[in-house]
Amino acid sequence: MNLQGKKLGFIGTGKMGGALIKGICDAGLLSPSDVYASDLYEPSLDELKQDVGINADTDNLVTVRNSDIIVLAVKPQILRKVINSIKDDVTADKLIISIAAGVKLEDIEGEFNEGTRVVRVMPNIAATVNEAASAVTQGKSASKEDTEITLTIFRSVGSAIQVPENLMDAVTGLSGSGPAYVFPVIEAMADGAVYEGLDRSSALILAAQTVMGAAKMVLETGMHPGELKDMVTSPAGTTIRGIRILEESGVRAAFMKAVIESSNRSKELAK
């Protein structure tokens, strides 16, 4: 999907909003001159304006009026207030993309005027390094083209897929919260190597690269993780010793429980 000719606006330029803006401009999806952003926090606006060259203003209406696509990159607790301040300027030709965690489409659409085109996205923090895992779900007035535009935007900072909204809580538990599950794993792997005598810096580099490389093999080979595991696991070798410890410690069950519990909490917060 080509975004050339479109004007893209961001309300909110925190970590996620800023990462998306940089990713989109770095990928060449749009010229910085076609990107508008607004935020009450002027330092983040000024930084983006200087580093990327976008249009920046503290007035949200400037962003809305100049944009064809508007990304709401604000915290859930202020989303309603932001929508109420801009909804009369959101005309039928504008697409709204919300990345407010846990806020359902029907709640977002209910705040806007009838017929507003809304798409909801659940990205994750890895957008800050262009490796986000994002899920997109389409609102009742949005079109297939609106969804394709949204997927294009979020694929500029990683991977993005389309899911029905009833699976968004599962997405939250998996990819939304998932980086926080993996960081302690990287730290623990490095700790083991430090115990065996490796220096901390080298251990962290090797642990993080190992996790990234394993993930890339899953994505690029299309092979089942179990098959890939068997490729590394020689009979009576070093790897199977480590696998045995992981199984005895219930690591797989613990990860499953973490995703399920996080998903359940997401459902609770949405009520």
Domain that holds residue 140: 8-166
Say if residue 270's pLDDT is above 80: no
- Name the pLDDT band for 40 (thresholds 50, 70, 90): confident
pLDDT of residue 72: 97
Say if residue 41's pLDDT is above 90: no
Q: What percentage of the chain exceeds 90 in pLDDT?
A: 86
Say if residue 271's pLDDT is above 80: no
CATH code assigned at 91 = 3.40.50.720
Q: Which of 157, 215, 219 is nearest to 185 (CA)?
A: 215
Among the candidates 128, 144, 166, a domain finishes at 166
Angle formed at CA 71 by CA 119 and CA 164, multiple of 5 degrees: 20
Q: Which of 162, 161, 119 is nearest to 140 (CA)?
A: 119
Say if residue 203's pLDDT is above 90: yes
Specify if 77 maps to a domain: yes
Query: How many distinct structural domains can be found in the chain?
Result: 2
pLDDT tens digits, 119-176: 999 999 999 899 999 999 999 999 999 999 999 999 999 999 999 999 999 999 999 9
Among the candidates 135, 166, 197, a domain finishes at 166
pLDDT of residue 15: 87
Co-location of 162 and 192 in the same domain:
no
Specify if 93 maps to a domain: yes
Co-location of 154 and 251 in the same domain:
no
Give Rg (Cα) of the chain: 21
Q: Which of 196-200, 211-215, 264-268 has the lowest mean pLDDT?
A: 264-268
Q: Which of 3-12, 42-51, 174-183, 185-194 has the lowest mean pLDDT?
A: 42-51
CATH code assigned at 261 = 1.10.3730.10
> Exposed (0-12), middle (13-18) or buried (19+): which is 120, by Cβ within 10 Å?
buried
Residue 41 and residue 52 in contact, taking contact as beta carbons nearer than 8 Å: no
Co-location of 215 and 152 in the same domain:
no
Specify if 195 maps to a domain: yes
Say if residue 2's pLDDT is above 80: no
Residue 105 and residue 118 in contact, taking contact as beta carbons nearer than 8 Å: yes
Say if residue 258's pLDDT is above 90: yes
Specify if 2 maps to a domain: no
